[in-house]
Chains A and B, each alone.
Chain A
Amino acid sequence: ERSSKSFNFGAYHPLETIYSWMDDLVAAHPNLVTKEQIGTSYEGRPMYVLKFSTGGDKRPAIWVDSGIHSREWVSQATGVWTANKIASDYGTDASLTSLLKTMDIYLLILANPDGYVHSHTSNRMWRKTRSQNSGSTCRGVDPNRNWDAGFGGPGASTNPCSDSYHGPSPHSEIEVKNVVNLVKNHGNFKSFISIHAYSQLLMYPYGYTCKDAFHAAELDSVGRSAVQKLSSLHGTTYKVGSICKIIYQASGGSIDWSYNLGIKYSFAFELRDTGRYGFILPANQIIPTASETWLALKDIMEYVHDHSY
């Protein structure tokens, strides 16, 4: 009964509901969507990526993850809406259809399943993973300070009780390692996009250093074009720039890792707030947020499709 057509995309849902809905999406689009388990979380929950593919093996691909920080609920909700959008627009949207003829899209809606469950059941403000830290009563690592990119540098904490604790070593968090393994084993990702919330930013590398990335000019141009599309829907204003220059120096971030791995089109979104709610964005804002984000995502994807390397 909980078919993909009756699912309420304008609501926040617990992990089990989202995982169950993924099966419905796959069932509704068997020739396009598959659900692949990429590993398990620290607490043993499966981690599923939705793969949108029309065939072929290890085609050039685009990676999108959402909700690596569990309390940023509009990110995961946007991931759900986006998955449905890709599936339902395939065959009718000319550019998306063209892209999926030659490229695959991987979408990890719940990048931090344990944290997401914890934010639903125990602490709505939980941001990190739920791993135990040796010698500390505080749990969890900031999974966006745990990547092997300037690991342990400025903008990450050595304190396990901090919300930006980088963890004991690069990729110590199984949730991070699972993504690293998939991306490295695949070897043909052309774009890596991470969705966060909030404060309306579109960022590109680097975060661990304030030096310009080699492709900074191009990434800036791609980002500005994407944000122009995003803003055209509801007038939401975004800022574009490198992580270090637009927010602050932050080491161990995912898109710095992906960029250094050779995935040129690496971006991170900070989705909208209404200026009043922060992480508690009302559910009636999910669809407007996801809809405007999709315009930017699609613009980036089209650019990646048109600029093979």
Chain B
Amino acid sequence: MNIFRGIADFSHLAAIIILLHKIWKSRSCAGISGKSQILFAIVFTTRYLDLLTSFISLYNTSMKVIYISCSYATVYLIYMKFRATYDGNHDSFRVEFLVVPVGGLAVLINHDFALLEILWTFSIYLESVAILPQLFMISKTGEAETITTHYLFCLGLYRALYLFNWIWRFYFEGFFDMIAIVAGLVQTVLYCDFFYLYVTKVLKGKKLSLPA
């Protein structure tokens, strides 16, 4: 594993834990898109089915189990425990417009027409757009709590670092996976606008708010 991949995985973990911690501490999931969190739970579930079929390393297995557990815990907090604080009216992105085309694409473009491989491909495609309901919610309300922006930054950083990881792996290992690379590029691009706001506003101590 190279340094980019290592930092990326921990940035991803940090994002997940920041979100869980924020919801737990404030006893509220205001401003958080439950739909994005359900999509991430689906992403992890469909991607990590290989937990049942193959063992890669203790690190790999532990991280996969932690990601899955945390994402289900987050969904539970939003839709069950702190449901009263969930801002469903603003979480109005139509997820079927993501899931259906992504499902179709996974069936059409994959490395191998086998169930596990198609589900893995589906999870890669779905992850690249799973944050859209959250970004849509922020654009609708015009603002985000600072802690939510830290969450988004860690999540975006994770994907950006994976791009460096793939460049590294291509040069030093001759490894590349076109499906992951293209989806990773799309995913990173979706965060660019947010990165700009994060650097120009949040890092200067201002709240992230969008012009009306």
Co-assembled chains A and B: no
Give me the interface of A with B, judged by CB distance under 8 Å.
none
Give me the interface of B with A, judged by CB distance under 8 Å.
none
